[in-house]
Amino acid sequence: MLKDVGDKEYNAVCRFYFREARLFSQSNYREWIDAMVDREIHYWLPVFEDRYKNDRKAPPAFPPSIYDDDFEDLDSRICQLETNLARRLDPAPRIRHLITNIEAFETDVAGDIHALSNFLVCRNRREREQSILVGGREDLLRMTNEGLRLVRRRINIPQRVVLDSDLYFMM
């Protein structure tokens, strides 16, 4: 049974997520990675196959993924976005990140928090381009002298195929 964190820690987790959503909505990924991401980060968006209940085949040892990034990978992706050379980012899309259903639980390691949340990303570009992506996240957050840091994120999207034309944003 998971044990909830105290009110003080829960409020810190909520503030962390609200700040992250604001930075994502402003496409301010540099501030996000510098202020909120641990150097040990594992940022993962696995892709799962649909399987029947009676399917006895073992799941793949290494499931395919859209993202399977460490700190250097994330930094490289952010550097790429900062060049402003991506055709899909000119003109810049209008984007909003909503965070909900935040839960935070104690772990066996002091200062570490197991957190769950749901998100909705709405992105509009030009006159008629709109995409909405809904999913959940399983995070490991670590309390440091500078505040909470994201150590591990597993993004779960219920879509078998992501229908968006690109994923030039963070979740």
Is 151 within a domain? yes
Per residue in 67-87, pLDDT (tens digit) is 899 999 999 989 888 887 766
Count the residues in the chain.
Answer: 171
User: Does residue 97 contact residue 17 with C-beta atoms inside 8 Å?
Assistant: no
Domain that holds residue 127: 7-48+63-156
State residue 90 phi and psi, 5-degree precision. -135, 110
Q: ∠13-101-161 over CA atoms, to 5°?
A: 110
Higher pLDDT, 59 or 156: 156
| 8-30 per-position pLDDT tens digit | 999 999 999 999 999 999 989 99
Q: Report the mean per-residue pLDDT for the chain.
A: 88
pTM over 0.85, yes/no: yes
Report the domain count for the chain: 1
* Best CA proximity match to 114, nearest among 141, 77, 137, 84: 141
Does 28 map to a domain? yes
Q: Is residue 162 assigned to a domain? A: no
Neighbours of 29 (CB within 10 A): 20
pLDDT digits (tens, 9 = 90+) for 90-127: 666 788 999 999 999 999 999 999 999 999 998 877 77
Q: What is the pLDDT of residue 166?
A: 58
Burial of 152 (0-12, 13-18, 19+ CB in 10 A): middle
Which are the contacts of 110, defined by CB distance < 8 A and separation ≥ 6?
A: none
How many other CB atoms sit within 10 Å of the CB of residue 51? 10
Give a yes or no: residue 55 inside a domain.
Answer: no
List the CATH number of the domain containing 13: 3.10.450.50
Listing from the earlier edge strand, what are the strands of the sheet with 147-156? 65-69, 37-46, 147-156, 129-144, 112-125, 94-106
